[in-house]
Amino acid sequence: MMRVVADDIYYGRPDMGHGRDRFVASWAGKQLGDPSWRELRAILDLGCVLRGGRAFSPSFGYQLKEFESLTSTLAVPGAVVRSRPSKRAPIIARSNWLVLTELEEADGDWIGVQLTNGRRGFIEEAMTAVTGITVSFEKRDGRWVMTGWTSGD
């Protein structure tokens, strides 16, 4: 991966900083089983969108602007929203990329959500897409390089 990291990469984690050296140092020694690698794969699996000569992943933040907010969550295909935080509770919606509004309610690994039609329910956190990180790429000298890794708001 380090061959595709730009020298001037913006690394937006508050405790990390900017530049290739900082990025490389933060990833040094991480084995393939490390959660950071799973997180990167999950982000890239969500696809990218081209904007202004850059590719941004995940793409849904750009594709679903009307739903964008700090409290939005994206349920992955196959996820279900249930009436209560239990796998035995009745299903109130099935996901094919549902955009949900997170509520203050939570119960363990379940997130309280509201559908766009106003119905409320719960979804398992594991069935939501990664939304806190955006990775950006730019084509330089004929090849794509990673130019950004931003997290948070």
Domain of residue 71, residue span: 65-127
Residue 141 shares a structural domain with residue 122: no
CB contact burial 118-143 (16+ within 10 A = b; e otherwise): eeebbbbeebbbbbebbbbbbeeeee
Residue pLDDT, tens place only, 40-58? 887 787 778 888 888 888 7
Nearest to 26 by CA among 47, 56, 5, 50: 5
Which of helix, strand or coil describes residue 27?
A: helix
The order of strands in the sheet holding 98-107 is 72-75, 98-107, 110-114, 120-124, 80-82, 91-94
Residue 44 shares a structural domain with residue 87: no
- The CATH number for 116's domain is 2.30.30.40
Residue 54 shares a structural domain with residue 77: no
Q: How far apart are CA 140 and CA 125, in angstroms?
A: 37
pTM: predicted TM-score of the whole model, two decimal places: 0.62
Residue 74 shares a structural domain with residue 95: yes
Greatest mean pLDDT among 7-11, 36-40, 46-50, 59-63 lies in 7-11
Which residue matches tokens 């950004």? 148
Residue 69 shares a structural domain with residue 90: yes
In this prediction, residue 13 carries a pLDDT of 58
Number of domains in the chain: 2
In this prediction, residue 110 carries a pLDDT of 93
